[in-house]
Amino acid sequence: MIRFERVTKSYAARPARGAGSAAGDRNAPTVAVDELTLDVPAGQVTVLVGPSGCGKTTTLRMVNRMIEPTSGTITLGGRDTATLDPAELRRGIGYVIQHAGLFPHRTVADNVATVPRLLGWDRRRSRARALELLERVGLDAALADRYPSQLSGGQQQRVGVARALAADPPVLLMDEPFSAVDPVVREQLQDELLGLQADLGKTILFVTHDIDEAIRLGDQVAVLRVGGRLAQVDSPARLLADPADDFVADFVGRDRGYRALGFRDALPIQPTPEPTVPLGADVGQARATATDRWLLVVDEAGRPVGWVEPERLTGAVSRDDLHRGGTVARRDGSLRALLDAALSAPSGRGVLVDEQGAFVGTVTAAQVTAALAAPAVRPGGIPDGGGHAVDR
């Protein structure tokens, strides 16, 4: 969909400022992006990631010509972007930036309706579309007539995404959109983006400095090094399993093996049945059901709520008695999620649920590691092309 062909961006040399400048070669131009050749496939999320100064934002901004390349070609859907009128080009591309850049003087709804209005849609249709999108990004319709200054950071960012989607552009450019919010909100926003993408299938070019975010969101991850050269472009699984050089290996960081488990599905594992008691069960019943020190408690819908120690119960099983240590994994989740559930459970047995969240059984760490030893999908080890089991 988007293709970079030997795209370079360099800035002219600054005149030397007096004596004492430590830079060796003062007259060399600064190269922000160096001969970048990259394909951004349609309908997928491509993440540009790298340290400060690697040119990732510059690259992104060359797509919608906020910055003009010094040399090279960028094509969008086969057409050379240099031949298109910049404003028209931009109206067909969604653009989300770090601090949302909402217009403070317009209401939320008016903000979202900006591009439709630019394209000539009438007021009613634009507003209807704005409200539709606000709902889609998880915002209450009551916020439509508020002003950005009345919203929290996370809400503003959601409005920014809604605004980018308003005219239904096929391409979205996102420049560190979730960096300015706190980690809890960031994770929610990432989840929601993945959900949106599953529904809409846009071509997304996403910039971040956070490798974990890149791995979580990208179908394809392009690692750039300082100076704007492409170090490696691959699926997240491949990137973790096979970094191209020391720089990439360092950048991807530690725990690569463990994080790679997030990409392996857990097909061969059968959950082990486990006795449970419902909330409110009395002490006697609890002690009778338990097979060892720990007993699993479920709610009336069959969803697991936590472990209790029957020996220490003083009355009927209540929420206060619950030990909340263990995480819960889906039966069809990644090996990483299963292993985490097993390791974090006080009883050593990880709790598994089905798609609706109902309890289906447990798994032990031993079972997971046994499954690891078995070939995952095909012989030769690493599954090709990733598969994207997201840890939820």
Interacting residues toward other proteins by CB under 8 A: 64, 66, 86-92, 95, 97-107, 114-115, 118, 147-153, 156, 160, 163, 173
User: Looking at beta carbons only, is 150 or 369 nearer to other proteins?
Assistant: 150
Cβ at position 172, least distance to other proteins in Å? 12
User: Looking at beta carbons only, is 142 or 373 nearer to other proteins?
Assistant: 142
User: Looking at beta carbons only, is 95 or 307 nearer to other proteins?
Assistant: 95
User: Looking at beta carbons only, is 101 or 170 nearer to other proteins?
Assistant: 101
Cβ at position 179, least distance to other proteins in Å? 13
Place of tokens 């047995």: 349
User: Looking at beta carbons only, is 105 or 392 nearer to other proteins?
Assistant: 105
User: Looking at beta carbons only, is 95 or 263 nearer to other proteins?
Assistant: 95
Cβ proximity of 161 and 97 under 8 Å: no
Cβ at position 375, least distance to other proteins in Å? 47
Cβ at position 224, least distance to other proteins in Å? 21
> HEC profile for the chain?
CEEEEEEEEEECCCCCCCCCCCCCCCCCCEEEEEEEEEEECCCCEEEEECCCCCCHHHHHHHHCCCCCCCEEEEEECCEEHHHCCHHHHHHCEEEECCCCCCCCCCCHHHHHCHHHHHCCCCHHHHHHHHHHHHHHCCCCHHHHHCCHHHCCHHHHHHHHHHHHHCCCCCEEEEECCCCCCCHHHHHHHHHHHHHHHHHHCCEEEEEECCHHHHHHHCCEEEEEECCCEEEEEECHHHHHHCCCCHHHHHHHCCCHHHHHHHHCECCCCCCECCCEEECCCCHHHHHHHCCCCCEEEECCCCCEEEEECHHHCCCCCCHHHCECCCCEEECCCEHHHHHHHHHHCCCCEEEEECCCCCEEEEEEHHHHHHHHHCCCCCCCCCCCCCCCCCCC
CA distance 187 to 321: 29
User: Looking at beta carbons only, is 149 or 314 nearer to other proteins?
Assistant: 149
Closest listed residue to residue 253, CA positions, set 217, 219, 211, 288: 211
User: Looking at beta carbons only, is 205 or 345 nearer to other proteins?
Assistant: 205
Cβ at position 111, least distance to other proteins in Å? 9
User: Looking at beta carbons only, is 151 or 261 nearer to other proteins?
Assistant: 151
Closest listed residue to residue 382, CA positions, set 287, 289, 243, 245: 243
Cβ proximity of 153 and 75 under 8 Å: no
Cβ at position 146, least distance to other proteins in Å? 8
What type of residue sits at position 307?
Answer: W
Cβ at position 352, least distance to other proteins in Å? 39
User: Looking at beta carbons only, is 85 or 300 nearer to other proteins?
Assistant: 85
Cβ at position 217, least distance to other proteins in Å? 21
Cβ at position 347, least distance to other proteins in Å? 42
Cβ at position 105, least distance to other proteins in Å? 4
Q: Which residues contact 23 (CB under 8 A, 6 or more apart)?
A: none
Compute the radius of gyration of the chain from its Cα atoms.
Answer: 26
User: Looking at beta carbons only, is 84 or 343 nearer to other proteins?
Assistant: 84
Cβ at position 19, least distance to other proteins in Å? 17
